[in-house]
Amino acid sequence: MADLPFVISREDWSLHRQGQMDQERHQARIREAIRANLADIVSDEAIIASDGRKVVRLPIRVLREYRFRLDWQKQPRVGEADGPVRPGEPVGRPGRAAEAAGGSGAGDEAGEDWFETDVPLEELEELLFAELSLPHLEPKQEPHLTVLHHEWRDVRRQGLYANIDKKRTLLEAMKRNRLAGRPPLAGIRREDLRFRTWDEAEIPGASAVLIIMMDTSGSMGTGEKYIARSLCHWMVRFLRTRYERVKLHFVAHTTEAKEMDEESFFTRGESGGTRCSSAYEYALQLIDRRYPPDRHNLYAFHFSDGDNLISDNPRAVALLRKLLERCALVGYGQIETQPQYLSMPYYQPNTLLTLFREEIDHPRFVTALIRDRSEIYAALRAFFPRPGAGERGAG
């Protein structure tokens, strides 16, 4: 009987990972879609009104798999034009019948497939907040501002089996067996076991205090108040997600300023005139009474539509300069959702943004002009820039 040929077969293990690879590509496309639509997602009213446990539905292009097809040079081409093609003519132009009708008409070519996917709000916040940071945050000299940090610092012979150090245990067993003249992997005994242990280390903490001020007067319409509250909503979510020691104060003002709880700040509305200096005066009193600048990182943000009593402007500028002396950063966001008034010939721009940019030149004073919901994300990046990014203003 003739000897059978000896055949060596090798299994392609990459095929076993195909499902995982496809899943990773799918997740990468989802993250890419989120980054490309952050400006629209941030301004979504359904997300802002959520309780933090909802998911976001995003449209994602279908990820097509590679496939074999016939050589395109040996088959009729489709979808380019319905007649002679001239150099420089755009591909996919409307048909002549549609052009004669004066419109684009109904298309006769296949488009891209889309589907909606659910993305947890926590994952969305992770991508959004990766672009943000609290600027000029410094450790302050206050004894009780320390944070407990757990570190794996030691290896011991006793401990929990969940914390066993496999590598050190194996090394101890190999050394003991070799000294006894046995093979290295002759067995593991109880005295060979090593366990990792952790200690609590105290590191200096940074205390941050944010004073968020918002104009709630009658000049702030529904659109302006929505944008202002949207900005405040994402600011609060960002700070509470990324920082442990942050204290928040919510101040609403018309001609007078008063501090509110968080729920009232985001739901209540008022009417009346506007005197922005009242909010700055309240913030200064709060700082002087409770938060010495040498012990706390202070931040103040103000959102308004720009209207203010003309007689109050000098006082507002003077108080804002005092805030800059105490705070690590002061931000002002002006919301203008009715640009049609700006084009009127009799309209004279007398807004706080124009006044502040002319009167105040300070490296830690940041301004942002928000004209619609799509600019909320740009304002967030202006107020909370990453290290090394510009901090002067947006809009």
Give 3-53 pLDDT, tens digit per residue. Answer: 555 454 555 556 666 677 777 777 777 777 777 777 777 776 666 555 555
Q: Beta-carbon neighbour count of residue 172 at 10 Å?
A: 18
What is the Cα 220 distance to its own chain's centre? 26
Top pLDDT among 150 and 283 is at: 283
Nearest to 125 by CA among 241, 243, 266: 241
8 A C-beta contact, residue 253 and residue 279: yes
pLDDT of residue 280: 95
pLDDT band at residue 233, thresholds of 50, 70 and 90? confident
Task: Tell me the mean pLDDT in the region 248-260.
Answer: 91
User: Domain boundaries in the chain?
Assistant: 148-203, 208-394
User: Residue 96 above 70 pLDDT?
Assistant: no
For Cα atoms 172, 175, 176, give the angle at the middle one, nearest 5 degrees.
Answer: 85
On whether the CB atoms of residues 372 and 338 are closer than 8 A, the answer is: no
pLDDT digits (tens, 9 = 90+) for 46-88: 665 555 556 666 666 655 555 666 565 665 555 544 556 566 6
CB 312 within 8 A of CB 350: no
Angle between helices 313-326 and 352-359 (to 10 degrees): 60
pLDDT at 142: 54
In angstroms, the CA 331 to CA 392 distance is: 10
- Indicate the DSSP class of residue 220: S
| CA–CA distance, 50 with 386 (Å, rounded to integer) | 27
Say which residue, 147 or 313, is predicted with more confidence: 313
Percentage of the chain beyond pLDDT 70 is: 65
CA distance 331 to 212: 10
Q: How far apart are CA 331 and CA 379, in angstroms?
A: 10
What was the pLDDT predicted at 57? 64
- CA pair distance 71, 79, nearest whole angstrom: 16
> In the prediction, which pLDDT does 278 show?
93
pLDDT at 372: 85
The letter for the amino acid at 2 is A
Q: What is the pLDDT of residue 214?
A: 92
DSSP 24: H
Question: Which of 189-203, 268-282, 325-339, 348-362 has the lowest average pLDDT?
Answer: 189-203
Judged against a pLDDT cut of 60, whether residue 350 lies above it is answered with no
CA angle (248, 249, 251) in 5-degree steps: 150
Higher-scoring residue by pLDDT: 8, 197: 197
Band the pLDDT of 259: cuts 50, 70, 90: very high
Confidence band, pLDDT 50/70/90 cuts, at residue 104: low
pLDDT of residue 94: 47
CATH number of 208-394: 3.40.50.410
Instruction: Give me the chain's average pLDDT, please.
Output: 75
Q: Which residues of 13-39 are buried (b: 16+ CB within 10 A; e: fewer)?
A: eeeeeeeeeeeeeeeeebeebbeeebe
Say what the pLDDT of residue 162 is: 79
Cα distance between residue 196 and residue 204, in whole Å? 25
pLDDT in tens, 135-194: 887 777 554 444 455 666 778 888 887 788 888 888 888 888 888 888 888 888 888 888
Using H for helix, E for strand and C for coil, what is the string for 140-197?
Answer: CCCCCCEEEEEEEEEEECCCCHHHECHHHHHHHHHHHHHHCCCCCCCCCCHHHCCEEE
Lowest average pLDDT, out of 163-167, 298-302, 380-384, goes to 163-167
- The pair of structure tokens assigned to 49 is 């009104």
DSSP 67: -
For residue 361, the one-letter residue type is D
| Residue where the block lists tokens 């804002």 | 320
Residue 56 in contact with residue 116, Cβ under 8 Å? no
Spatial separation of the C-alpha atoms in residues 358 and 352, rounded to whole Å: 10
Residue 95: strand, helix, or coil: coil
